[in-house]
Amino acid sequence: MLEYIGLTVVVPPMTSKRTIVLGTQHAPEFACLPLKINIGNFIEAKEHGADTFLMAGGVGPCRFGLYGQLEAEILGDLGIDYDALIIEPPDKGIWQFVRRVRKITGSASWLRVLQGIHLGYRKACFVDSLERVVESVRPRERAEGTADRIFKQALFTIDRASNNTELEEAAGLARQKLQHIPQDEDKDVLKIGLVGEIYTLLEPFASGDVERKLGRMGAHVVRSIYLSDWVSDHLLGGFLRRKGQEEYKKYAKPYLNHFVGGHGIESIGAGVFFANNGFDGIIHIAPLTCMPEIVAHCIFPKVSEDLDIPVMTIYLDEQAGEEGLNTRLEAFVDLLANTKKTGLLDRSATIC
Amino acid sequence: MACKVGIPRALLYYRFSRLWPVFFEKIGCEVKVSDETNKATIDQGAASVVDEVCLPVKIFFGHLDWLSDCHVDYLFVPRIVSIEKKAYICPKVMGLPDMAATAKKDYPPFISPLINNIRGEKDEEYIRELSPYFSCGKKRLKQAWLEAKKEQARYDQKISKEFWIEEGLKDDDPELLNVLVLSHCYVAHDRYLNMNLLEKLKKAKCRVVLPENISDELLERAVKGLKKKPFWTYGKQLLGAAFWFSRMPGRKGAIILTTFGCGIDSFIGNMAERHFKKAGIPYLIITLDEHTGQAGLETRVEAFLDMLRWRRKHYENNFPTYGEYLDTIARDAGIHRAYSCCTSHDK
């Protein structure tokens, strides 16, 4: 989208161990993981020549709303010279939003800007719809990893698409390829709902690749949040409000009756929704010390008990050891498979 | 028969310690405020919620447990979203009634009105929120509410006048050190949680300045320079106090007193720390958790105060008259002004 209006975009290298090391070194100790990774990303992007960083803002009460400010301060203290552009959501004042966007876009015409936003948003939507296909194919594919390879290629072609026709072509082709992957139709597949904090849901490196791992273990994973939801809800201020997120909120009653910032209420709502729709289990992931998700974590045992669905909460931090996570996921999947087979649920073992 | 309402002595009770009890008494309830925090409260609280929540919330649950053993009819667990315009408290406090409802123990029924001032304070809204819980008319509720509010305002005025120095010490004692304790009210006033830090500081000849001693107007002015104001009441208060304090002349030090797992302090504390570093003000960060050993804390505080005293002596030797002059004037001009502002501002 930014390239569309004539800016040079430096995409930081994929999040890696080095990113997290850089981030944890400079971020406050008890800050949440996304902030640490963000700072690492910005430092790495600087090494690749970026001079301005673009951040979304917010009005609380989740800490994300202050990310931009704290990052600007931390980078400034490190002597890393950055121009901070923080876009606050339009509900704080439409004119401020317009001014900030203007500052980014410079001399590009408004039509061009709107077209750029629209194209970016459509790309997100296409990627999300492809991802849903990948999620359902992954546990059934005969050759492990085919879907992921195709998806990776599709991301690349979608990213390169510079207009609507190219985009539709790229997405359509990828979808067809995905649908033609040889699959084992008779396989008994578990359905697992993945809920939690958005960043850890969307960034595979931060979440230790939970989604893919579960897929390979034979589970059809459905996430509660996809990128396009967030873009439409937060950045575009709900002008294009779609049903998904709002609906989840309704399900959260009576377990959580008030919004608690971040995605706390969506996590609970989606959990209830998944439980009511025949899912076998729920995995709740969040960065350590995430405030809204801690509230959700406190409430999940009750949801699990009332709706008879196993829930596991996983907190993620800069710890890189993978095996602990693998063991927990395997145990959880085994438990679900066993429950499904025997129809018995050992209550004492389901709340982890 | 009057019903018995239990109020946990935790979290924002310390901010509204007059308002809530007086309100319930005025409408004819018997009020039971839980005892001060002790080891059993913390242990019990930590056992009833998940590990990841912050210590003050665990203590809150400990108080709930204690009260439910006291045969109260109702527990007062308000859902406090915001206590001032355009600022929240914190996600965990917002979800408190829901978290309490799912805790393992069977609690007595809750009275949990929604307290949300994000769009400004309106008495009618409170009354509407509270009225479903009581059989008495709205008029009586309103009367009780207004009286309770007056009582709280009177109390606020009284404590803002209180000087946080040891009795018998004079206000212009040259030995006196100014120490700002940056912490939320429920940490600063919970004597078990903070291991009586305020008393310890007072005994060590310090003038303890708390963020709540500084008037809202001054705090608001202090954070004005920021590109974006923090959207938490306590975040704003702490950061404002840090800015204000660093502008006051004189020798001084700051203690950032935070609890393990506090999400707000992880950001605000860090910002304050960066500010103190740039302003050249010595600071000490203390993170409190379930540990009860006091020696570690005492040693650190002592070392910090020794360092402050050493600095004062050292610098005063270098610049004798000016330094001394600056120091006494500072205390009168700076800190005093804040106190008098406080008192005149409070209605």
Residue B112: CATH number of its domain: 3.40.50
Q: Is residue A119 part of a domain?
A: yes
Nearest to A262 among B89, B91, B227 (CB): B91
Number of domains in chain B: 2
- For residues A333 and A194, membership in a common domain is answered with yes
Same domain, yes or no: B182 and B119: no
Predicted pLDDT at B1 = 53
Same domain (yes/no): B145, B194: no
pLDDT in tens, A198-249: 888 888 888 878 888 888 888 888 888 777 766 666 555 544 444 455 677 7
Please state, in angstroms and rounded to a whole number, the distance separating the CA atoms of residues B158 and B155.
5
Please name the residue of chain B whose CA is at the shortest distance from the CA of residue A315: B52
Q: Look at residue A131 and tell me if it is in a domain.
A: yes
**Chain B residue with Cα closest to A60:** B231
For residue A94, the model assigns a pLDDT of: 64
Number of domains, chain A: 3
Q: Does A60 lie at the interface with B, CB-CB under 8 angstroms?
A: yes
**Within-domain flag for A31:** yes
- The C-alpha of A220 sits at a distance from chain B's nearest C-alpha, in angstroms, of 29
In Å, how far are A142, A257, A309, A324, B59 from A335, measured between CA atoms?
24, 31, 12, 17, 35
Q: Which residue of B has its CA nearest to A27?
A: B270
Q: Do A212 and A90 fall into the same domain?
A: no
Let me know whether A174 and A235 are in one domain: no
B246 in the same domain as B327:
yes
Q: Are residues A65 and A46 in the same domain?
A: yes
What pLDDT is attached to residue B229?
Answer: 81
- Looking up residue A196, the CATH number of its domain turns out to be 3.40.50.11900
Query: End of a domain among B136, B158, B180?
Result: B158
Which regions of chain B are under pLDDT 50? 317-347
State whether A77 and A134 are in the same domain.
no
- CB contacts of B88 in chain A (<8 Å) are 60-61, 261
Task: Find residue A183's DSSP bridge partners.
Answer: A141
pLDDT single digits (tens) B312-340: 777 654 443 444 444 444 444 444 444 43
Omega within 30 of 0 (cis) for the link into B108: no
Domain co-membership, A226 together with A165 = no
Looking at the structure, tell me whether residues B192 and B301 fall in a common domain. yes
Return the pLDDT at B318: 45
Q: Are residues B96 and B215 in the same domain?
A: no
Same domain as A67, residue A146: no
Flag whether A321 is in a domain.
Answer: yes
Measured between alpha carbons, how far is B305 from A214 in angstroms, rounded to an integer? 55
Is the torsion defined by CA of A335, A337, A342, A347 positive or negative?
A: positive
CA proximity to A117, closest of A244, A235, A245, A242 = A235
Shared domain check, A305 and A201 = yes
> Same structural domain for residues B339 and B198?
yes
For the record, the structure tokens of A261 come out as: 């910032």
Question: What is the model's pLDDT at position B255?
Answer: 93
- Whether residue A258 and residue B79 make contact (CB cut-off 8 A), yes or no, is yes
Task: Measure in Å the smallest separation between the Cα of A283 and chain B Cα atoms.
Answer: 16
Domain residues for A81? Answer: 17-107
Q: Are A60 and B231 in contact (CB < 8 Å)?
A: yes
pLDDT the model gives residue A345: 54
Q: Check whether residue A157 and residue A87 sit in a common domain.
A: no
Phi, psi of B256 (to 5 degrees): -90, 105
Residue A7 in domain: no
A35 and A159 both lie in a single domain:
no
Residues B215 and B335 in one domain: yes
On whether both B37 and B97 belong to a single domain, the answer is: yes
Residues A176 and A85 in one domain: no
Range of the domain at B46: 4-158
Nearest by CB to B263, from A69, A72, A291: name it: A291
> Residue A5 falls within a domain, yes or no?
no
**10-residue averages of pLDDT along chain A (352 residues):** 65 82 87 88 85 75 84 86 73 65 71 79 86 87 86 87 86 88 83 88 82 87 78 56 62 82 85 88 90 90 88 85 88 87 58 48
**0.85 surpassed by complex ipTM:** no
Beta carbons within 8 Å of A200's beta carbon, 6+ residues apart: A33, A34, A206, A207, A285, A286, A287, A316
